[in-house]
Amino acid sequence: MDIHQLSVQYLRDQDRILMRFNTTTQQELRLWLTRALLRGWWPHLCEGAQAMGAQAAPPAPAPPASDAAEGPEAPDLSTPFEEGGAELPLGAEPLLVTEISQTRQGQRMAISFQEKRQDREEERGVELELEPALLQALVQLLSLSLKQTDWGLPEHPPSGDPAPDRPAVPGAPRYLH
């Protein structure tokens, strides 16, 4: 599945971040990220981006409508995200991410997003492989979105800052690295 564009938006009324990916095969993947989930994953994502050589520093200010990135080249934060007309393989309701795992696979980062909810029998999930430029764009867009939240999360964790330790609580999100 080749990613054509991505969009990351904080939706205040949902108090969540909506992450959307358009593929080159005209599919759109929609994922919800919560504060609790991002709190644990954000340091790992930035660390992984830095390890791959992707520039993970906070981005230069971008116009508010700049929530798109394309291709394997340098991120394009000025092209609007293409809306509508795409197939929704995960369904119209965004996947509520409860577990994330990421592993480096050569020059790409494989990230698996899973939804495991007690109110649903069926588990949903998707795995994406991101090249360094797309990984950089994801970090930049998440950083921009964090500026809009009141979650108390750093827009960019300091280099070498470990993920906060979280007690094992039933139903709490899991982060695998």
Is 49 within a domain? yes
More confident residue, 158 or 91: 91
Is 174 within a domain? no
Mean pLDDT of the chain, nearest integer: 80
Mean pLDDT of 53-61: 47
Is 41 within a domain? yes
Is 67 within a domain? yes
| CA pair distance 146, 74, nearest whole angstrom | 22
Task: Say whether pLDDT at 162 is over 80.
Answer: no
Split into its structural domains, the chain has a count of 1
pLDDT digits (tens, 9 = 90+) for 103-139: 999 999 999 999 998 887 888 999 999 999 999 999 9
Contacts of 89 (CB under 8 A, 6+ apart): 27, 29, 126
Residue 52's domain comprises 3-91+131-164
| CA pair distance 111, 108, nearest whole angstrom | 10
pTM of the model: 0.74
Return the pLDDT at 7: 93
Residue 164: pLDDT band with limits 50, 70, 90: very low
